[in-house]
Amino acid sequence: MSNIRVLVAKVGLDGHDRGAKVIVRALRDAGMEVIYTGIRQTPEQIVAAAIQEDVDVIGLSSLSGGHMHLFPKVVNLLNEKVPDNNILVIGGGIIPDDDIEELKKAGIAAIFGPGTPLKDIINLIEEKAGK
Amino acid sequence: MVEKLLADFRAGDKVAAARIITMLEKGDPKGKEILKDLYKQCGRGYVIGLTGPAGAGKSTLTDALVKELRKKDYRVGVVAIDPTSPFTGGALLGDRIRMGDIAMDPGVFIRSMGTRGNLGGLSWEARDALTVLDAFGCDYLIVETVGAGQSQVEVEKVVDTVVMVTVPGLGDDIQANKAGIMEIGDLYVVNKADRGDADQVVRYLEASLELGHKTEGWQPRVCKTIAWKGEGVADVLDAITAHRSFLEETGKLEEMRKIRTYEEIIARARKMVIDELKEYKGINEIVERVYNRDQDPITAAEELVNSVVK
């Protein structure tokens, strides 16, 4: 069996995870193995978990405004620790449109804001990380 | 590629360990070859199983136990199992939420796994992951089972010490005396001891355990914990260590592990034969023959097995 493995994490000082839990549930129902590591995670913790769990996808959630600092930090740390990784890193939460371009340049493959149909997220993951 | 992976693994690289576990999870034939190679180096690690109902605090207790073991500088591997959906094949693996503090510890490796069709049991993938982490140099291995009901006792066949975790409010002395999962603990933990009447649960368990245990000569202890605060957890580790000493001194550990080895060989052989049988090409003709009463199913099975097992 070959399920897509996804790590979902709330990065930074951000305790609101209703949205992240909805994503976790949707991905679970789409047949993925979803590892949820909970709220207030540092980039170091997220990368350590992603390594041990050998995930295909990391989904970062932030509602607290720290995304410009924290999302790229996760990508950089991941590339430093696992240079040959092909992990898809995506993000979501409250992200101003103006920030999206820069985040994409920093290696976040996609950003999903409020109101995104869950199917869009599932489709992107299946397309880019499906086996 | 396999050589590089093994070299990295031997050098203590967690990325390599994680990738080997993934290969085994996916049934990659190269993973099997690696496992054969690693088998020689394992057997050093001591395996602890944590089982008990969903929500009893197994993950939190695992986190606290790992911290106690790390104080003594032991390396620890954790395999944490959560249920796979029988409908979609998906899973929410949420045990790590309680283990955030230890995630970055260089001496700790945690892997989450789905049950993947093994109802309450331990999948081959989980056993293989334990073998990998043992060979990786973990002194202690902790398996956290999926939330267990009354009769999910398979963990007992795989681990050296079973820690049965329960909480106040789940039942009286009749529950404590029921067959099945209540029989398999080598020690019992009443977690969330600050809630409900934990002392009464301890009394129920102790009264039940006084009447006997599966292992002759061993009297399981009952510990109280408040795992999220770390309270009582050192006591749990003492009880585990006491059980280990008992097994080692009486020769029961060796005896137990030999039975386990025997069972593993038989189970693997059985799986291989069944896989071969399922792939047998002439099966439809045999079915037709037996259906039409031209042959009986006993003879057909004998012939089938003989043609597969050379």
Check which CATH number belongs to the domain holding A37 and give it: 3.40.50.280
Among B90, B112, B116, select the one facing A27 at the smallest CB separation: B90
Which of B203, B230, B250 corresponds to the end of one domain?
Answer: B250
Evaluate if residue A77 carries a pLDDT over 60: yes
Distance from CA of A77 to the nearest CA of B (A): 13
Domain that holds residue A35: 5-129
- d(CA A55, CA B192) in angstroms, rounded, equals 33
Residue B256 lies in a domain: no
Those residues with Cβ within 8 angstroms of residue B53's Cβ, 6 or more apart along the chain or in another chain: B147, B148, B149, B166, B167, B170
Structure tokens belonging to residue A125: 């993951």
Element (H, E) at B93: strand B91-93
- d(CA B69, CA B72) in angstroms, rounded, equals 5
Distance from CA of A112 to the nearest CA of B (A): 21
User: Do B101 and B23 fall within a single domain?
Assistant: no
- Looking at residue B21, its pLDDT comes to 96
| B15 contacts in chain A (CB < 8 Å) | 51, 81-82
What is the mean pLDDT of the segment spanning B219-228? 94
User: Do B203 and B238 fall within a single domain?
Assistant: yes
What ipTM goes with this model?
Answer: 0.91
Nearest CA in chain B to A83: B15
CATH number at residue B126: 3.40.50.300
B114:A45 CB<8 A: no
Evaluate if residue B200 carries a pLDDT over 60: yes
| A35 contacts in chain B (CB < 8 Å) | 93-94, 96, 112
A45:B100 CB<8 A: yes
Closest CA to B186 of B247, B98, B233: B247
- Looking at residue B272, its pLDDT comes to 86
Mean pLDDT of chain A: 93
User: Do B102 and B147 fall within a single domain?
Assistant: yes
User: Do B15 and B61 fall within a single domain?
Assistant: no
Structure tokens belonging to residue B151: 């009769």
What is the mean pLDDT of the segment spanning B53-61? 91
| A25 contacts in chain B (CB < 8 Å) | 92
Long-range contacts of the stretch B120-125 (C-beta < 8 A, 24+): B120/B145, B120/B146, B120/B148, B120/B149, B120/B151, B120/B152, B120/B154, B121/B152, B121/B154, B122/B81, B122/B154, B122/B155, B122/B158, B123/B81, B124/B271, B125/B21, B125/B24, B125/B25
B96:A49 CB<8 A: yes
Using one digit for the tens of pLDDT, what is the confidence trace for B71-96? Answer: 999 999 999 998 888 899 999 998 89
User: Do B233 and B103 fall within a single domain?
Assistant: yes
Test the A interface: residue of B9, B93, B99, B128 with most A CBs within 10 Å: B93
- Looking at residue B121, its pLDDT comes to 63
User: Do B20 and B168 fall within a single domain?
Assistant: no
Number of alpha helices (DSSP H) and beta strands (DSSP E) in chain B? 11, 8
Q: Which residue has the higher pLDDT, A130 or B237?
A: B237
A45:B103 CB<8 A: yes
User: Do B74 and B178 fall within a single domain?
Assistant: yes
Distance from CA of A63 to the nearest CA of B (A): 19
What is the mean pLDDT of the segment spanning A72-98? 95
- Looking at residue B188, its pLDDT comes to 94
User: Do B54 and B191 fall within a single domain?
Assistant: yes
Evaluate if residue A33 carries a pLDDT over 80: yes
Domain that holds residue B6: 1-40
User: Do B120 and B225 fall within a single domain?
Assistant: yes
Those residues with Cβ within 8 angstroms of residue B18's Cβ, 6 or more apart along the chain or in another chain: A51, A52, A53, A54, B111
Mean pLDDT of chain B: 90
- Looking at residue B207, its pLDDT comes to 87
What is the mean pLDDT of the segment spanning B7-21? 96
Residue B1 lies in a domain: yes
Number of domains in chain B: 3
Among A1, A33, A51, select the one facing B93 at the smallest CB separation: A33
Among B15, B84, B92, select the one facing A51 at the smallest CB separation: B15
- Looking at residue A16, its pLDDT comes to 87
- d(CA A75, CA A89) in angstroms, rounded, equals 7
Closest CA to A78 of A38, A104, A107: A107
Number of domains in chain A: 1
Using one digit for the tens of pLDDT, what is the confidence trace for B115-134? Answer: 887 765 678 889 999 999 99
Element (H, E) at A45: helix A43-53
Q: Any idea what DSSP says for residue B48?
A: E
Those residues with Cβ within 8 angstroms of residue B224's Cβ, 6 or more apart along the chain or in another chain: B189, B190, B193, B198, B199, B202, B232
Distance from CA of A14 to the nearest CA of B (A): 15
DSSP for B161-230 reads EEEEEE-TTS--HHHHT-SSGGGS-SEEEE--TTSS-HHHHHHHHHHHHTT--SSTT---EEEE-BGGGT
User: Do B193 and B265 fall within a single domain?
Assistant: no
